[in-house]
Chain A
Amino acid sequence: MAIKAAHHPLVHDSALKQTCGAAHYLDDIPEPKGMLHLYIAMSTQAHAKIKSMDLSPVISARGVKCVIGAKDIPGHNDVSPFGGDDPLFAQDIVEYIGQPVFAVAATSRELARRAAQLAIINYAPLPAIIDIAQARQAGHFIEKSKTMAKGDAKKAIAKSRHRTRGTLVIGGQDHFYLEGHIAMALPLEDGDVHIYSSTQNPTEIQHLAAHVLGRTQKDITVEVRRMGGAFGGKETQPAIMACACALAATISGQAVKCRLDRDDDMIMTGKRHDFIYSYECGYDDQGRIAGLSVVLEARCGRSKDLSGPINDRAMFHIDNAYDLPTAHITSHRYKTHTVSNTAFRGFGGPQGMIGIEKIIEDIAFNRACDPLDIRLLNAYGPGKSNKTPYGQKVEDAVIKEILQDLATSSNYRKRRADIRRFNKTSPVLKKGIAITPVKFGISFTKTFLNQAGALVHVYADGSVHLNHGGTEMGQGLFIKVAQVVAQEFQIPVEQIKISATRTDKVPNTSATAASSGSDLNGMAALNAVQKIKRRLAKLAAKKLDCAAKDVIFKDGFLSGNGKKISFADCARNAYEARISLSASGFYKTPKIRYNPVTLRGAPFYYYAYGAAVSEVLIDTLTGENKTVRVDILHDCGRSLNPAIDLGQIEGGFIQGMGWVTTEELVYDHKGALKTHAPSTYKIPTIGDRPALMNIEIWNKGRNIEPTIYRSKGVGEPPFMLASSVYCALADAVSGALDYQVYPALNTPATPEEILRCIEEGLQYGS
């Protein structure tokens, strides 16, 4: 029987368990005897000195077993990824509403929560900086501003025949993974701790827990089977819950679980950065960009977290798919007294690249032509320098081809003309359309993170145990890596046991992030498999009477010299011949090099591409809007698993659509988040999905780099296809203004924002 592995649309390995309610998420693991529930008490002040904190009523409350705070930490009071500025529990000062101040372990969740309310904390309020404007005025930075330049953009803009300038306010976003943050810690002998954590980054949890407990990394084991969604929200943030549980477990000697409810999760943990994007762009009569100058301002929140690399990535994506002859990019990273913003699908890329899509639309509006033509004119491709502002060569500049293919398959040009006709005859409802490209750099911009490990065991019956450093959050990484193993061994994927990610199996791993999960872990698994294959081939060669190099793995057999032996028999023979059937594998991404100080070099191994056409309908009386049709063409290289990749494309797009439309984070002037539950924070529902969605994987896609089977990462890039929704909404607003004004539409383009632009445009027009 032919093995179906690489490139086959296999369903997610846990799909049936999940649909039957039989897949275990962390909260579903049978609870250990005597387990305590931990409640984390949060700051009620955005910025204040803790004058006094009396926890005695908490300690004496019903059901309470222990109360932990900064003073109970035997090691270091820090759970930051590298900034050293994220205390597990506040000490002396609080810096955002929701910051962990102390935690209570009690016999039930409700008792722990109730006890926590009894604390008597005296705060002396300090001046709080909540938003970007306040931070700008106060010069309140979390780290040094950065600039990046290609040529002399200022001069090029000044010399240009046409110029456009403006500001785009870009909203943040909550991850809204359906499974909230959760951790459980089990105290072991010798003071060791086993931690279950819903984390994308078990190694970091291990390191931080050791750091907090004053232990070494060998004393801590972290395990995660699956997460109920993560999207970047579980890259650094789970450390709070995991380390608090580890500390409480160590102190109480009992197992401790901490599960945040939805409101606490949204208030306590970080989100996508909101940005203000200010630009000036010079271009010629045809709409060819001569220079672009951009200032990026980001609300980073109270600590560094990952804000540095996130803002770097925003800078790296300022060009999106366009070859800018000159560019000047300044990036300001503000410290605010709000929750520390963190990784979220795209990692600054979406904020970096949505601006130039607006600029292109604006140029097309001013030149009275189709924005697609401006896009094609400026896109990377033949005849261009194909050098990014940071100096990396764009080696497979295929975006023009994708744009053209999509424009044809979606009938874009005719539909654009039809829409203009429709708008002439429809006074209240207006339509808009836009086609936008994506070019997204794949690799961690912190170069050392681009490494991975795997562990593969073949048992004597031929069944295989697979483990690697990647984590499963629904994205299908586990099935993809299993497909690699199945492909190489030529065994059915069902013969492979996919096991939970554990720091004691594969050490020193990176977060599953940056769309690199299958690139890195697939290659590491391949490396391990190849080691075992060599041993098996050598053994089989003897049996088959041929050279080891002539042994072929095919459809469950090892064959050579016209004879064959089944994989299982070979495994049995190897065991009996005392040959090791276990191997670890390792991979590091080649080629990448990059200077984080000068921001120059080749930070990305390759680029992933895609394009989308969105058509929208707006109501000019209420601002209500709907995306009615979407066509997507996305480059997955040679897709490892087309079914999984299509899922990533559609899911990423809809999440991006939510970001630019309904998902609005509202903070009040005191810095309290007012949208901290699904009742107030609105992610797309089934009805928001466009009635017509044509999604295709670009069939010419092939990674020019030797990635795992020439596939490309697909986790993040599709998110940014939703720029097309934003541009289409702006086009519809422009239509409402008789195409006399191009609107300064901000995101999220809520009904209120759309109505604001229409009214502003009407005033401007008159």
Chain B
Amino acid sequence: MSRDHIQFLLDGELIRERVFDPTLSVLQYLRERRLRTGTKEGCAEGDCGACTIVIGEACGEHVHYKAVNACIIFLATLDGKEIRTVESLGTPHSPHPIQKLLADKNGSQCGFCTPGFVMSLYALQISNIPANPGNVSHALAGNLCRCTGYGPIIEAALEMGENAPETSSAQDLKSLQHDECVKISATIEGENKVFYIPKTLEQLEEIYAKNPGAVLLAGGTDVGLWVTKRHQCLNNIIYLGAISALNILLENAKHVEIGAGVNYSDALPILTKYYPDMGAVMRRIGGQQIRNLGTIGGNIANGSPIGDMAPLLIAAGATLALRRAGTLRTLALEGFFIDYGKQDLRAGEFVKAVNIPKPRPDQRFFAYKISKRFEQDISALCAAFSFELKGGTCTQVRIAYGGMAATPKRAVLAEKTLEGQRWSEENIRRAMAALEDDFTPISDMRASKDYRMRTAQNLLLKAFYENKSGQPIRVLEENLGH
């Protein structure tokens, strides 16, 4: 059984859509088909936040709301959800308090970014997250403003108060959900396009087996850009976002299991709990909107050499669970990345989950992300170090880097230099030297090869200093403790 349409709520109104380009972005849909032009396109890649809208999803008895970038999500992914746009909140004659505050505080100059800021703040408020400076900064890091310098926006945000707007009933949203697989077929400008929304792993396996060339779509923070930036025509897409079996977070005595469909925001608390430094890096992946969409599984499966999760998870000793036709295969994460753009994935196989060992008592874990800008930037390099320290000797050394090679990679020689040795500055400097044999980084627009190498080396030294002093020595005012 399958259905040929999607359904979602827009300001409480049930909308059904049957005939549409499955890769039509929600932004295009809002602006061009619903004539809601309040939501803006600033970059079409999820980096500026001008297109921010709020999505609601039923989550038990509640509706869980989050800010997302409408420019890179496909309309079809809204099935079973609720959306709110800047027009949902108020009008100039009857503005929502956030809209009024932002105006009164001079938080809007040219105004093009403003609806995005309004919606990011609205997401904060409707989620009952207190508007303190830290939360506001995290909530708005994915919204660029070129006019104000942000001060007036912060001022408005801090005065927002806790008047959480009315949420929809989880019941209404649940009534939109069903077990049937959705299949949207359309011929758009001469192209036949099919979009599947399976609900179970079995449905997924069946569809994927029949369409091995289909693109697997999770959060869309990467695949969305294939359409908006590379202008690829994706004819066959399987959306993973409705498969609850992929959206699980489990922990036992030794492991944390994160389903491939879990987004950064949802994985952040548990990973921060066990690996504070991992959390610190994750908080700098994209803006809040991206972290609300992007999945750990997607970050790994697409094999980017500069994806931040892979080096962190490799250092932590994570393994992957891959599934095909009902069978599971387990693989050390570092073994998954074969070469640039090439992963150890067989036809019809997909990433089901990632398993992360919990830290051992003597284990130390340090992670660093280096980029031109702290927030919402792509790493020039990313480094993660894990080791056990007993009686001044380090063992179980795992050193992983992103941005230093064609894939995320362990620094095997540097690890060897340290394994079983005294944890001393002298040995650290030997490991730093060994990195030159481990890696031959390249120069690009993010950094030169020399900078990458020198900083990769210096980060080892930084970990040494931080371990010694027992606290972070960093420019960012993060006080995470170790």
Residues of chain A having any CB pair with chain B under 8 Å: 11-12, 14-25, 27-28, 30, 62-63, 108, 110-111, 113-114, 175-180, 226-231, 261-263, 427-429, 473-476, 617-619, 621-626, 643-644, 646-647, 650-655, 662, 664, 666, 674-675, 677-680, 682-689, 691, 693, 695, 750-752, 755-756, 759
**In the complex, which residues of chain A have a beta carbon less than 8 angstroms from the beta carbon of B95?**
16, 19-20
Q: Tell me the minimal C-beta distance from B288 to chain A in angstroms.
A: 11
Cα separation A695 to B211 with both chains bound (whole Å): 60
Q: Given that A474-B147, A688-B374 are known contacts, is A752 also in contact with B462, CB under 8 Å in the complex?
A: no
* B373 close to chain A: CB less than 8 A: yes
**In the complex, which residues of chain B have a beta carbon less than 8 angstroms from the beta carbon of A63?**
189
Q: Is the CB of B375 within 8 A of A619?
A: no
Binds A, one of B1-9, B150-158, B248-256: B150-158
**In the complex, which residues of chain B have a beta carbon less than 8 angstroms from the beta carbon of A12?**
103, 106, 108-109, 111
Q: Is the CB of B447 within 8 A of A752?
A: yes
Cross-chain contact of A21 among B85, B371, B454 (Cβ < 8 A): B85
Q: Is the CB of B372 within 8 A of A688?
A: no
Q: Tell me the minimal C-beta distance from A450 to chain B in angstroms.
A: 25
Q: Is the CB of B110 within 8 A of A227?
A: yes
Q: Given that A21-B87, A179-B110, A686-B375 are known contacts, is A619 also in contact with B149, CB under 8 Å in the complex?
A: no
Cα separation A25 to B474 with both chains bound (whole Å): 42
Q: Is the CB of A647 within 8 A of B90?
A: no
Cross-chain contact of A686 among B108, B140, B147 (Cβ < 8 A): B140
Q: Tell me the minimal C-beta distance from A231 to chain B in angstroms.
A: 7
Q: Is the CB of B459 within 8 A of A622?
A: yes
Q: Is the CB of B141 within 8 A of A229?
A: no
Cross-chain contact of B146 among A17, A655, A689, A693 (Cβ < 8 A): A655
Q: Is the CB of A685 within 8 A of B87?
A: no
Q: Is the CB of A429 within 8 A of B99?
A: no
* B261 close to chain A: CB less than 8 A: no
Q: Given that A62-B190, A229-B112 are known contacts, is A674 also in contact with B445, CB under 8 Å in the complex?
A: yes
Q: Is the CB of A178 within 8 A of B144?
A: yes
Q: Is the CB of B445 within 8 A of A666?
A: yes
**In the complex, which residues of chain B have a beta carbon less than 8 angstroms from the beta carbon of A680?**
378, 445-446
The 10 closest A-B pairs by CB, nearest first: A21-B38, A474-B110, A228-B112, A18-B111, A654-B149, A21-B86, A678-B47, A15-B103, A650-B149, A474-B109
Q: Tell me the minimal C-beta distance from A74 to chain B in angstroms.
A: 32
**In the complex, which residues of chain B have a beta carbon less than 8 angstroms from the beta carbon of A679?**
43, 45, 47, 378
CB closest chain-B residue, reference A31 = B32
* B148 close to chain A: CB less than 8 A: yes
Q: Is the CB of A20 within 8 A of B149?
A: no
Q: Is the CB of A19 within 8 A of B147?
A: no
Q: Given that A21-B85, A24-B37 are known contacts, is A751 also in contact with B370, CB under 8 Å in the complex?
A: yes
Q: Is the CB of B144 within 8 A of A685?
A: yes
Q: Is the CB of A650 within 8 A of B151?
A: yes
Q: Is the interface of A mostly helix, strand, loop or mixed?
A: loop
Q: Is the CB of B475 within 8 A of A678?
A: no
Cross-chain contact of B373 among A16, A231, A650, A688 (Cβ < 8 A): A688
**In the complex, which residues of chain A have a beta carbon less than 8 angstroms from the beta carbon of B47?**
677-679
Q: Tell me the minimal C-beta distance from A480 to chain B in angstroms.
A: 13
| 23 pairs, CB–CB < 8 Å, chain A vs chain B | A15-B104, A16-B100, A16-B103, A20-B86, A20-B91, A21-B86, A22-B91, A23-B111, A25-B40, A27-B37, A27-B41, A63-B189, A108-B189, A231-B146, A428-B465, A473-B110, A646-B106, A678-B48, A680-B446, A685-B375, A686-B137, A688-B374, A752-B451
Q: Tell me the minimal C-beta distance from A118 to chain B in angstroms.
A: 13
CB closest chain-A residue, reference B148 = A651
Q: Is the CB of B110 within 8 A of A262?
A: no
For this complex, into which size category does the number of interface residues on chain B fall? 35 or more
* B442 close to chain A: CB less than 8 A: no
Q: Is the CB of A619 within 8 A of B114?
A: no
Given A674-B445, A756-B451, 16 more pairs with CB closer than 8 A: A12-B109, A12-B111, A16-B100, A19-B118, A21-B86, A22-B38, A178-B144, A227-B110, A261-B41, A428-B462, A474-B111, A619-B474, A623-B451, A625-B475, A666-B445, A687-B375
Q: Given that A178-B40, A646-B106 are known contacts, is A20 also in contact with B87, CB under 8 Å in the complex?
A: yes
Q: Is the CB of B108 within 8 A of A18?
A: yes
Q: Is the CB of A226 within 8 A of B110?
A: yes
Cα separation A750 to B451 with both chains bound (whole Å): 11
Cα separation A755 to B458 with both chains bound (whole Å): 11
* B231 close to chain A: CB less than 8 A: yes
**In the complex, which residues of chain B have a beta carbon less than 8 angstroms from the beta carbon of A664?**
372, 445
| Chain A proximity mask over B430-474: 1 for CB below 8 Å, otherwise 0 | 000000000000001111100100110011011001000000011
- Which has the most chain A C-beta neighbours within 10 Å: B103, B118, B231? B103
**In the complex, which residues of chain B have a beta carbon less than 8 angstroms from the beta carbon of A674?**
444-445
Cα separation A65 to B281 with both chains bound (whole Å): 50
Interface members, chain B 71-123 (any A CB < 8 Å): 85-87, 89-92, 95-96, 98-100, 102-104, 106-115, 118
Q: Is the CB of B137 within 8 A of A687?
A: yes
Q: Given that A113-B231, A428-B465 are known contacts, is A20 also in contact with B154, CB under 8 Å in the complex?
A: no
Q: Is the CB of B99 within 8 A of A19?
A: yes
* B377 close to chain A: CB less than 8 A: yes
**In the complex, which residues of chain A have a beta carbon less than 8 angstroms from the beta carbon of B359?**
none
Q: Is the CB of A21 within 8 A of B376?
A: no
Interface members, chain B 380-412 (any A CB < 8 Å): 380
Cross-chain contact of B42 among A178, A646, A650 (Cβ < 8 A): A178
Cα separation A177 to B89 with both chains bound (whole Å): 26
Q: Is the CB of A677 within 8 A of B106?
A: no
CB closest chain-A residue, reference B119 = A21
Q: Given that A19-B108, A651-B147, A651-B149 are known contacts, is A262 also in contact with B42, CB under 8 Å in the complex?
A: yes
* B62 close to chain A: CB less than 8 A: no
Q: Is the CB of B87 within 8 A of A653?
A: no
Q: Given that A178-B42, A643-B106 are known contacts, is A228 also in contact with B462, CB under 8 Å in the complex?
A: no
**In the complex, which residues of chain A have a beta carbon less than 8 angstroms from the beta carbon of B304?**
none
Q: Given that A651-B148, A682-B377 are known contacts, is A19 also in contact with B445, CB under 8 Å in the complex?
A: no
* B39 close to chain A: CB less than 8 A: yes
- Which has the most chain A C-beta neighbours within 10 Å: B31, B37, B115? B37
**In the complex, which residues of chain A have a beta carbon less than 8 angstroms from the beta carbon of B35?**
30
Q: Given that A21-B86, A177-B146, A179-B40 are known contacts, is A685 also in contact with B102, CB under 8 Å in the complex?
A: no
Cα separation A177 to B446 with both chains bound (whole Å): 22
Q: Is the CB of A647 within 8 A of B110?
A: no
**In the complex, which residues of chain A have a beta carbon less than 8 angstroms from the beta carbon of B368?**
622
Q: Is the CB of B37 within 8 A of A686?
A: no
Q: Given that A622-B459, A653-B149 are known contacts, is A686 also in contact with B103, CB under 8 Å in the complex?
A: no
Q: Is the CB of B45 within 8 A of A689?
A: no
CB closest chain-B residue, reference A259 = B41
**In the complex, which residues of chain B have a beta carbon less than 8 angstroms from the beta carbon of A23?**
111
* B50 close to chain A: CB less than 8 A: yes
* B44 close to chain A: CB less than 8 A: yes
Q: Is the CB of A618 within 8 A of B378?
A: no
CB closest chain-B residue, reference A178 = B112
CB closest chain-B residue, reference A27 = B37
Q: Given that A683-B144, A685-B375, A686-B154 are known contacts, is A475 also in contact with B474, CB under 8 Å in the complex?
A: no
* B295 close to chain A: CB less than 8 A: no
**In the complex, which residues of chain B have a beta carbon less than 8 angstroms from the beta carbon of A759?**
454
* B263 close to chain A: CB less than 8 A: no
- Which has the most chain A C-beta neighbours within 10 Å: B114, B444, B476? B114
Cα separation A750 to B372 with both chains bound (whole Å): 6
Cross-chain contact of B475 among A30, A261, A626 (Cβ < 8 A): A626
Q: Given that A20-B90, A621-B459 are known contacts, is A685 also in contact with B42, CB under 8 Å in the complex?
A: no
Q: Is the CB of A228 within 8 A of B110?
A: yes
CB closest chain-B residue, reference A25 = B112
Q: Tell me the minimal C-beta distance from A58 to chain B in angstroms.
A: 16
Cα separation A511 to B376 with both chains bound (whole Å): 35
Q: Tell me the minimal C-beta distance from B32 to chain A in angstroms.
A: 9
Interface members, chain B 139-174 (any A CB < 8 Å): 140-141, 143-154
Q: Is the CB of B39 within 8 A of A685?
A: no
Q: Is the CB of A647 within 8 A of B152?
A: yes
Q: Is the CB of A621 within 8 A of B91?
A: no
Cα separation A425 to B369 with both chains bound (whole Å): 26
